[in-house]
Structure 1
């Protein structure tokens, strides 16, 4: 069973969010995308951040071993090759999506990362909080409030040069094009497919999000299962 952030978030708006919320989530995300060992705690000045980060990393490593590792694709991590049983199965799965007539989204990669979720929060639930460890829970709550089971975001899978001046768009600032968040594959697929057909060579796909409590979990569905060669 997936472990959850033990640090509580204040219910009253405007109240300071404890540093442990973000720190635990940062450690968890780093560990579940870093098989097979628990990553080293970063050197930081704040002992509360370091302690919560280390606790999150232990939880993320345990969940990775028990439930499967996740790829921090948009955080710049290269997928490690499975060399032993600890990281076996770290690869694509059946997406469960219907086959298209021309292009397919048959494969899904279990991923983790805040960047695409920040974009989804901004588009799907403007005004809701992102960052500080709140992104996943904000998006999950917005989906629950609106009765939405899944969201899709078209993305380019190759990054260009990051923007010199931050725009506030987490994917664009990291050099990734993205489209408009939608509630169905049928709505989102044409934007992703257009990136493949009008730009040569180009690799695109869909970020598929299903509410996962506070976690920054999503599936990456490449068009025709194709990823950039450097990945």
Structure 2
């Protein structure tokens, strides 16, 4: 089981969230996506953030070694080599558990990459639970709570996997601002798949996929399902 953020979050809406909460979550995301060693703590002015970050990075590294590493795809993190990466679990794609298409010529979503990152979850939260705000290390927590409140077990979001570049003007859309197109959040793969498939069937070659989210407490975990199992050439490995 993944370790959890040890820093308490106030229940009262008017009380500020301790900076250690975000520090721990940011450190954890870095630690579980940067094998094999614990990443160095960034130097910032807030020592409480640095302390939380260091604790989170150690926890993420420990979980990566035991449960498997995750790819920080939309954060521009280089994919770790498809090897043990200093631990006992191989980093690489898994079986998504999604059914094979009936038509042998159809696009499939049978390959799954375990990923981590807040950007995709921020987009899902904004669309699935309008009015809820992410950030402060609370995005995964709030999205998981929204899913529980609505009785939803999984969310799906079509995304373009090719980096298009940072827009000149920011839009407050975490994926677009990171250089990636995305579609509309859906509650089933069947609803999200057409948007993703449309991205790879245009005239110019493109690579697309589905972000599949299942609530995982406060963690920024998701699975990336490439259309047909194909990644951009520079990332295919």
Question: Same fold by TM (over 0.5)?
Answer: yes
Alignment deviations for residues 86-136 of structure 1 (CA, whole Å, 9 cap, x no partner): 255100000000112311000000000000000000000011120110100
Contact between 2:154 and 2:214, CA under 8 Å: does it hold in 1? yes
Moved over 4 A (4+): none
1:147 aligns with 2:151: yes
Q: Which residue does the alignment assign to 1:47?
A: 47
TM-score, normalised via structure 2 length:
0.95
Alignment deviations for residues 192-218 of structure 1 (CA, whole Å, 9 cap, x no partner): 000000142100000000000000000
Q: Which residue does the alignment assign to 1:96?
A: 97
Alignment deviations for residues 42-72 of structure 1 (CA, whole Å, 9 cap, x no partner): 1111111111100001100000000000000
Aligned-residue Cα RMSD (Å) equals 1.1
Aligned length: 231
2-structure distance, mates of 1:20, 1:199: 48
Structure 2 unmatched runs, 5+:
none
SS at match of 2:45: coil
Within 5 Å, give how 1:182-197 maps onto structure 2: 182-197=186-201
TM-score, normalised via structure 1 length:
0.97
Q: After alignment, is 209-218 or 80-89 more displaced?
A: 80-89
SS at match of 1:130: coil
Alignment deviations for residues 152-181 of structure 1 (CA, whole Å, 9 cap, x no partner): 000000111211211100001111000000
Structure 1 unmatched runs, 5+:
none
Q: Which residue does the alignment assign to 1:16?
A: 16
1-structure distance, mates of 2:168, 2:145: 33
Deviation, 1:84, is 4.4
1:81 aligns with 2:52: no
SS at match of 1:63: helix
Q: Which residue does the alignment assign to 2:63?
A: 63
